[in-house]
Structure 1
């Protein structure tokens, strides 16, 4: 994730603080000097870092902290609270008009930030909330922008209003409003054109749309990978056009992440959502407290629960539980669990939300869990007959040879998968006892993911 390097550096600082039985003011100042360097390297602006460190130090050198039972933990708690405050404290929803009244949302941003895809992602979110949504294709300059919106709109089951690329964006927006009002649409999302950089023509076009259409919310989409540029762009758009909130994209990429820590402080506008991948479902509500927890390496179990809940099928879960109890868990079930994990962003995405999983561990996991390996596992399972997938005990040597040939792999890979499957099945059966043992203070079992 974007904050891997920052998280690792902060964890090293906190490890030193925890190791000390007591802290002096000099210890705190030294730790804050390291935190300052880590934040600057993460591309957080110097002005914001300076104010942040000042706030933390002001609270951390108080007598109640330095003389407390666990001063190191108290300093970490203060850093966490200040990070949350820096990013906006409260979670902010996109404001909608009451009842069935039409809410017009204008998407803005530079070319390449992911604005068109994000518009479709947002449309899907509103549709899930029971809103009737319309997407309006007003980017008439970028080749294939209209087609991209139409394809994504179709995937989301949302209508796309288009008049081609020969009309002005203002006229398209006005016609889209008329269409929305005639068809009882609740939310109209206008996808506007971007440029490679901020220019006067783009700003004037956005201002013109706002003059002619009753835009209720202006949402800026910025690319987290551009670092401080994303913050500067946010400030310019807010000053020239006026924005109500920001969606930060590509936060799953190899970026330093400083934009997420700076935007609220610079613009005064909240981060509303974060884009965590290419799929149309990869848009997460932005929770400042959860993001602070991720940055500090404390995990984000609440977001993980949200992801699991979104994909959770209670009936299937009960059915799976019964199969595990009766030892009738087969390769079809195994494959289904793999696909469920893919829907949630893969194992690395899930583990990144658990406390204590560092970036070095994540890189090992990602190396072990590459897509080619998962594809080979799927090919092996699909090369089995339904009877073999249902009853793995049928897999003798000749059957394994046939399966290996069908999947285009060596028989050793089939043997490895069967062995790992049996370990997984045993582990699932033993899981209730393992959990009980852990709750009673028993020995913690070693967990090895069965792929």
Structure 2
């Protein structure tokens, strides 16, 4: 999960102050010191850290906090609000043109993931907003850049405009917009050339494209793994191109989070989107308040719901609920649900979105090993159709056959059977056996 180290450190720090009935100025100073160290270790710009800590200390020792009935909780509220403000305050949406097409120019250094991000953004606009984008291959220098975008277009079943690598990128951009108007594409996303380092030649070309096509948005694609360098790159691009927003890539990787927490404060440009995986669907709008909640271990229910809405079939979900109520949930249903959950992303990331999941018995400090899911799938797939429908018929010889067929042990098969029965009971409790009567279902800590 992105920000994992920072999240662990901050959650440990604020936990010390949360349950206090009374918070002294010294308590706040100690907490602020720990938060400061955590942010610096996460590679957050030191000036940004200094300003943030001063604001937190000023608010946390104020009358509103000190005299509240829950001062510890109020301090955490202050930290969350300040982190949210630091990352932009609220979601920044795309500026849509008065008349189609809306033109988006993608800029950034070579290797930041610009071409892949161009495809991901187009896919996001089509799936989330029912738009019809045209991708434009305007990087005529990097070997295979045009082919890469065309391959992405084929994968996504989306049009790609290219004129080869012997045409001026300015002319490519102009012609692309003409085609978009003729074909009624409502978005044009231009993948421009990058460099390993910022140079005048690159900037001149980008400035010519921008002044020529006057894009509605100029998105700077930044690799969040590069830490402080990302801030310097963003500052330079913004100074010369006046970018309108930032797209962070690799926010799911082993990143310390410094770029995401510093970039808005340094450039005064909002983070618009974030790449959170390698798949074309692993791309989401950036919500500062949700990210702040996740960093502080407060979950992110809205993002979890959005992922579920995108990846879980509504009709199947309703059928599943009926089966849960009737206690007729089978291993076939379980296998189907596992597939849908896996499409939502890494389990660790999903758990981070559930408020309080880290404090739940059995889940605290749990390592969610997705390899175990492979074993579970193998066991279920080694069962006959009748065994998946009626696990009660399992006897010793059947279990032995299943274990051998799945490359597991009889004890693993027994463990899965036991867990499955417990899960069925829990699901029936959660859905509630009597409609309309609150309190009959199982109340989990995060519900």
The TM-score with structure 1 as length reference comes to 0.89
Q: 1:138 is matched with which residue?
A: 138
Q: For residue 384 of structure 1, report the CA deviation from its aligned partner.
A: 3.1
Work out the number of aligned pairs and report it.
441
Give the C-alpha shift of residue 82 in structure 1.
Answer: 1.4
Q: Is this contact kept in 2: 1:300–1:354, CA < 8 A?
A: yes
Counterpart in the other structure of 1:377: 376
Distance 1:163-1:409 versus aligned 2 partners, 3 A rule: farther
Measure how far apart 1:400 and its partner are: 3.7
SS at match of 2:37: helix
Partner residue, 1:201: 201
CA-to-partner distance for each residue in 1:198-236, whole Å, 9 max, x for gaps? 222222221122133232211011111111111111111
Task: Tell me how far apart the structure 2 counterparts of residues 417 and 30 of structure 1 sit (CA, whole Å).
Answer: 47
Matches within 5 A, 1:217-296: 217-296=217-296
- In the aligned structure 2, how far is the partner of 1:362 from the partner of 1:174? 55
Contact 1:352 1:362 (8 Å CA) reproduced: no
Evaluate the alpha carbon distance shift between residue 290 and residue 391 of structure 1 in structure 2; reply closer, same or farther with a 3 A threshold: same
Q: Is 1:319 the counterpart of 2:325 in the alignment? A: no
Q: Which residue is equivalent to 2:168?
A: 168
Tell me how far apart the structure 2 counterparts of residues 273 and 283 of structure 1 sit (CA, whole Å). Answer: 7
Equivalent residues of 2:246, 2:270 under 8 A apart? yes
Distance 2:302 2:86 in 1: 20
CA distance in 1, matches of 2:118, 2:15: 42
**Deviation digits for residues 60-92 of structure 1, max 9, x if unmatched?**
222332233222222221122211211111211
* 8 A contact 2:347–2:370 mirrored in 1: no
Match of 1:392 in 2: 391
Distance 2:349 2:119 in 1: 22
Match of 1:418 in 2: 417
How many Å apart are 1:349 and its aligned residue?
1.8
Distance 1:361 1:40, change over 3 A: farther
5+ residue gaps, structure 1: none
| C-alpha distance in structure 1 between counterparts of 2:82 and 2:410, whole Å | 55
For 1:440 and 1:157, the matched residues in 2 are separated by: 48
RMSD of aligned residue pairs (Cα, Å):
2.7
Matches within 5 A, 1:206-217: 206-217=206-217
Task: State the distance in 2 between where 1:444 and 1:325 align.
Answer: 16
Partner of 1:39: 39
Choose 50-59 or 356-365, whichever is displaced more.
Answer: 356-365
Q: State the alpha-carbon separation in 1 of the partners of residues 356 and 445 from structure 2.
A: 15
The answer for the alignment partner of 1:364 in structure 2 is 366
Is the 8 Å Cα contact of residues 431 and 441 (structure 2) preserved in structure 1? no
Shift in Å, 1:361: 5.9
Pair 1:65 & 2:93 matched: no
Asked if 1 retains the 8 angstrom alpha-carbon contact of 2:247 and 2:273, the reply is yes
* TM-aligned CA distance change 1:304 to 1:446, over 3 Å: closer
SS of alignment partner, residue 246 of structure 2? strand
Q: SS in structure 1 opposite 2:366?
A: helix
What residue number does 1:108 align with?
Answer: 107
Q: Provide the rounded CA distance (Å) in 1 between the counterparts of 2:109 and 2:60.
A: 40
- State the distance in 1 between where 2:198 and 2:444 align: 55
User: CA offsets per residue over residues 368-425 of structure 1, 9 Å max, x none?
Assistant: x233x32232233233333333333344444444444443444444333333323322
Distance 1:308 1:264 in 2: 29
Q: Is 2:182 the partner of 1:182?
A: yes
Contact 1:434 1:445 in 2 (8 A): no
SS in 2 for 1:364: coil
Does the CA-based 8 Å contact 2:138-2:192 persist in structure 1? Answer: yes
**Which one is further off, 127-136 or 394-403?**
394-403
Aligned counterparts of 2:28 and 2:182: Cα–Cα separation in 1? 63
How far apart in 2 are the matches of 1:247 and 1:443?
A: 41
Contact 1:103–1:186 under 8 Å retained in 2: yes
How far apart in 1 are the matches of 2:183 and 2:441? Answer: 62
CA distance in 2, matches of 1:326, 1:433: 10
Q: Distance in 2 between matches of 1:315 and 1:191?
A: 38
Q: Is the partner of 1:215 in helix, strand or coil?
A: coil
Structure 2 unaligned blocks of 5 or more: none
SS of match in other structure, 2:337 = helix
* 1:79 is the counterpart of 2:79: yes
